[in-house]
Amino acid sequence: MTEPRLQTQGLSRHFGALKAVQNIDFALDAGARHALIGPNGAGKTTFINLLTGVLAPSQGRVLLSGRDITATGQAERVKLGVARTFQINRLFRGLSVLENVSMSVAERRGVASSMLSAIGRRSDVIADSMQLLETLKLADVASHRVSELPYGRQRLIELAITIGLKPNVLLLDEPAAGVPSAESHIILDAIDGLPKDIAVLIIEHDMDVVFRFAKRVTVMVGGAIFAEGTPREIEANPEVRAVYLGQAAQNPTHG
Ligand SMILES: Nc1ncnc2c1ncn2[C@@H]1O[C@H](COP(=O)(O)OP(=O)(O)OP(=O)(O)O)[C@@H](O)[C@H]1O
Ligand SMILES: [Mg+2]
């Protein structure tokens, strides 16, 4: 048996008395298309924060291809191939789209220590970045400042930056949240177009997106794993329907 690309063992995180993440055993294989769903406050973002090293666990371990990375810092995990997007976007708003994306491409190519102005003249970095922008239909706004663009496009840029790192594990925290539905298909198409081998975990409240994208679904409730299975199994699970899907159906835009 091959090692899971990313794995957690007994992973927990408490905030004072609040058990935000409780004793999670989870595995993400190479090529996984896995969705993490659950009500607001279930602990989904906290779980991703533990996977990426934004937060340290209270207990348990995180393994990357069998290697214990529990004590490894955020930046080092990115270098090891674990990339993520945030629920709320974090971009350099005063820089152009191309500048934002070329910084991550330069980082991956190991030339980020050059001055930013020098990165801007590296034709290999620019060519890679522009190609990425083409696939995400952002090439026409490459020279625009991020702050001038509508929110949907800003989220796409964030995805471009993350993909630009060429990760082998990609963690997406509600990548289409706040994006008008007319534009969200571009984000989904971009996710569909990712290299097959990347292990992808997506937090998503929109069940249409979950059922279109995921081969496997984990339901989190109250910090713990409540159910896991194929989209079909999850959809048919009466307990899941009771705690989550019924509520999501009544309030499809929440989150
Ligand atoms: N830094 C923190 N300090 C204290 N409590 C926190 C912290 N971060 C999260 N929490 C709490 O932990 C619980 C889980 O939060 P988390 O953001 O992980 O939920 P979520 O499943 O991502 O929810 P949503 O769907 O609303 O994004 C919540 O009760 C939240 O208030
Ligand atoms: Mg969240």
Q: Which residues surround ligand 2, an ion (CB under 5 A)?
A: 44-45, 87
Q: Could you give all domains of the chain from N- to C-terminal order, each with its CATH number?
A: 6-250 (3.40.50.300)
Give the whole-angstrom CA distance, residue 133 versus residue 160: 7
247 lines ligand 1 (CB under 6 A): no
Instruction: Identify the DSSP state of 140.
Output: G
DSSP assigned state of 237: -
Q: What is the predicted pLDDT for the residue at 254?
A: 43
The answer, yes or no, to whether any atom of ligand 1 lies below 6 A from the CB of 21, is no
Q: How close is the Cα of 220 to the center of ligand 1, in Å?
A: 12
CA angle 190, 195, 201 (to 5 degrees): 70
**What is the strand order of the sheet 216-221 is part of?**
82-85, 169-173, 199-203, 33-37, 216-221, 224-229
How high is the pLDDT of residue 117? 54
The pLDDT tens digits for 2-16 are: 899 999 999 999 999
The reported pTM is 0.87
From the CB of residue 61, how many other CB atoms can be counted at a distance below 10 Å? Answer: 14
Lowest mean pLDDT among 71-80, 155-164, 238-247: 238-247
Longest Cα–Cα distance in the chain: 57
Unique residue bearing structure tokens 């996977």: 51
Taking the mean position of all CA atoms in its chain, how far away is CA 98?
A: 21
Q: Ligand 1 pocket, 51 CB below 6 A? A: no
> Where is average pLDDT lowest: 45-59, 81-95, 206-220?
81-95
Q: Which atom of ligand 1 is nearest to the CA of 49?
A: 18
